[in-house]
Amino acid sequence: MQDITTEIANRRTFAIISHPDAGKTTLTEKLLLYSGKLHTAGMVKGRKGRKAAASDWMAMEQERGISITSSAMQFDYKGVIVNVLDTPGHEDFSEDTYRTLTAADCAIMVIDASKGVEKQTRKLFEVCRLRQIPVLTFINKMDMPGRDPLELMNEVENVLQIQSYAMNWPIGSGRAFQGVVDRQENQVLFFSKTSIGGSQRAGIERQALDSPETKDRIGQELFAAIRTELELLEMAGNAFSQADFLAGKVTPVFFASALTNFGVEPFFDAFIHLAPPPHARSAIKTDGAEVLIDPSSPFSGYVFKLQANMDRRHRDSMAFIRICSGKFERDLVVKHQRLNKEIRLSRPHSMLAGERTTVDIAYAGDVIGVINPSIFAIGDTLSIRGGFSFKPLPQFQPEVFARISPKDVGKRKAFDKGCQQLLDEGAIQMLRSIGQDTDVVFAAVGQLQFEVMQYRLKDEYNVETSLNRLPYDCSAWIIGDLSTFSKTTNSLLLQDRQGRPIALFPSLWDKQYAIRQNPKHKLADILDAESSATNEHFTR
């Protein structure tokens, strides 16, 4: 038991969240660099002559310089086992991001120093708040012209409604950004470039804050300004405690530049001490009672992601499993709660940029991938004891709709296979006319999901497709007797793969009108995986 307890306490599992282009994937890449997994950090956009980012394994991600899929990686950082979940920043993939956040014990929120708290950052932070996930804040791009640090911290507090505490303080900004003040140690960390483009670790030189050498190096005027700001933080700023951080009451803030590596290593060093190890998770027993599953309990976990064709040689599907409790060993026989049968978890892997490494042993907090022989679905619970399921993952209302078909009818079989794979992954949804199987409508949370769908069908299944957008901008699942539901003229009634009725509306006004016309029905924007609407998300 001591062995398991020690191993679990040594795990840190976190997700990185941000608005697109804030530097999230670059930060992930630098964590790999500092852990020793990479000898040279790749640039996200994969320009000519430069490496593509290791965490972005899909070709389309490398071409566009954005993260489209969530990736999971594990490595050792200074004696701590780190599981990092790199999530899509684009709002069109918020559903995939939400599912991934359920597997995280902590989050790093990356903010662009010139732009502050942006739209998608606010949305993802709210998800963390709802799930009570503690958040560290990484204010990035300090090597570029940006906003005043005090102004940025104030915005974090006012927009996100959380207290902030500066763990370090920047010395200069833009091209003049040369280091940070470590407030805990009362030291100055001066950084120096050791390579072009931040492909190698930055040099660090430490000096006492009030030493004559520090004052001379910074300059009297800048030193005086920094001293004034630090005194202001001490007098008027928030206090910091580990308990308040874990309770989501305060976010520790770090200033740095992921591109140049200035401030990256001190941030990671602080992270492994601040971030929590795996904790107990809520589950539902077969009799409906809620129970907490302690991390030291016998093995249990759940599938939070499916991804096909990560290995192009085998064309298989990988199920990502977050281990919630206990010890996993290769070829472990577990209870598949949904199928009510025992299965063997053979050929488990850990992932790094699509590359697989066989896993013999893993513990609570780890993420493993197993080959999916069409028996896993998102949200499936696996455990030694059985008799319970972790709370189901939600499904979000789609907002874009289209009819999609293969240009070559001779490739219909490959088209159907590719669509089935994307449906299983949760990348898209498929709707049908009620009582019919022929009229198929594809649905997604955002337009970019359709672009990815067409790209992957062409890239992975060699099927070119035609897409015809439909004139609907929102939807809602109908909870209640469908026979008494009053359908509006411009709406369309369909059903999803589970047979649940869903209404498509050309505008939010039409949706609100339908709600007023059907007071005995509930129109839900979010459903859980067991087909019941989550009450707090009903559209009123």
- Report how far residue 537's alpha carbon sits from residue 534's, in angstroms, rounded to the nearest whole number: 6
pTM of this structure: 0.81
| 92 shares a domain with 238 | yes
Three-class SS state of 9: helix
Identify the domain boundary among 365, 390, 415: 390
**Which position has the token pair 């001379």?**
216
Confidence at residue 71, expressed as pLDDT on a 0 to 100 scale: 59
CATH code for position 267 = 3.40.50.300
| 382 shares a domain with 416 | no
Confidence at residue 57, expressed as pLDDT on a 0 to 100 scale: 43
Confidence at residue 532, expressed as pLDDT on a 0 to 100 scale: 44
| 197 shares a domain with 142 | yes
In this structure, is residue 76 part of a structural domain?
no
In this structure, is residue 82 part of a structural domain?
no
| 330 shares a domain with 457 | no
The share of the chain scoring above pLDDT 70, in percent, equals 86
Confidence at residue 153, expressed as pLDDT on a 0 to 100 scale: 96
- Report how far residue 29's alpha carbon sits from residue 65's, in angstroms, rounded to the nearest whole number: 13
DSSP state of 529: T
In this structure, is residue 113 part of a structural domain?
yes
Name residue 81's amino acid. Answer: I
Confidence at residue 164, expressed as pLDDT on a 0 to 100 scale: 96
311 band by pLDDT with thresholds 50, 70 and 90 = low
| 106 shares a domain with 205 | yes
- Report how far residue 140's alpha carbon sits from residue 499's, in angstroms, rounded to the nearest whole number: 45
| 242 shares a domain with 184 | yes
pLDDT tens digits, 468-523: 999 999 999 999 999 999 998 899 999 998 899 999 999 999 999 999 999 999 99
The share of the chain scoring above pLDDT 90, in percent, equals 60
CATH code for position 418 = 3.30.70.3280
In degrees, rounded to 5, the angle at the alpha carbon of residue 99 between the alpha carbons of residues 96 and 103 is 130
CA distances (Å), origin 289, targets 292, 360, 480: 10, 34, 25
Confidence at residue 255, expressed as pLDDT on a 0 to 100 scale: 97
**Please, what is the end-to-end C-alpha distance for the chain in angstroms?**
50
Across 68-82, average pLDDT = 76
| 58 shares a domain with 27 | yes
| 443 shares a domain with 420 | yes
**Contact in structure between 416 and 424 (CB atoms under 8 Å):** no
| 316 shares a domain with 266 | no
Higher pLDDT, 237 or 139: 139
Q: How many domains does the chain have?
A: 3
- Report how far residue 124's alpha carbon sits from residue 64's, in angstroms, rounded to the nearest whole number: 22
pLDDT tens digits, 329-339: 999 999 999 99
Element (H, E) at 479: strand 474-479
> Does 533 score more than 60 pLDDT?
no
| 337 shares a domain with 288 | yes
Confidence at residue 371, expressed as pLDDT on a 0 to 100 scale: 87
CATH code for position 347 = 2.40.30.10
Confidence at residue 20, expressed as pLDDT on a 0 to 100 scale: 80
DSSP state of 183: T
Three-class SS state of 229: helix
Could you tell me the residue range of the domain that residue 218 belongs to? 15-68+88-274
Rg, the chain, Cα only: 25
> Does 241 score more than 60 pLDDT?
yes
In this structure, is residue 217 part of a structural domain?
yes
pLDDT tens digits, 89-141: 445 445 677 788 889 999 999 999 999 998 878 878 888 888 889 999 999 99
| 314 shares a domain with 211 | no
Confidence at residue 313, expressed as pLDDT on a 0 to 100 scale: 62
Q: Which two tokens stand for residue 403?
A: 């009819």
Higher pLDDT, 310 or 288: 288
Across 52-62, average pLDDT = 48
| 108 shares a domain with 22 | yes
Looking at the DSSP bridge assignments, the partners of residue 191 are: 204
**Contact in structure between 53 and 29 (CB atoms under 8 Å):** yes
Averaging pLDDT over each range in 59-73, 340-354, 414-428, which range is the top one? 414-428
Across 391-410, average pLDDT = 88
In this structure, is residue 73 part of a structural domain?
no
In this structure, is residue 445 part of a structural domain?
yes
Identify the domain boundary among 338, 373, 390: 390
- Report how far residue 356's alpha carbon sits from residue 68's, in angstroms, rounded to the nearest whole number: 20
Confidence at residue 26, expressed as pLDDT on a 0 to 100 scale: 86
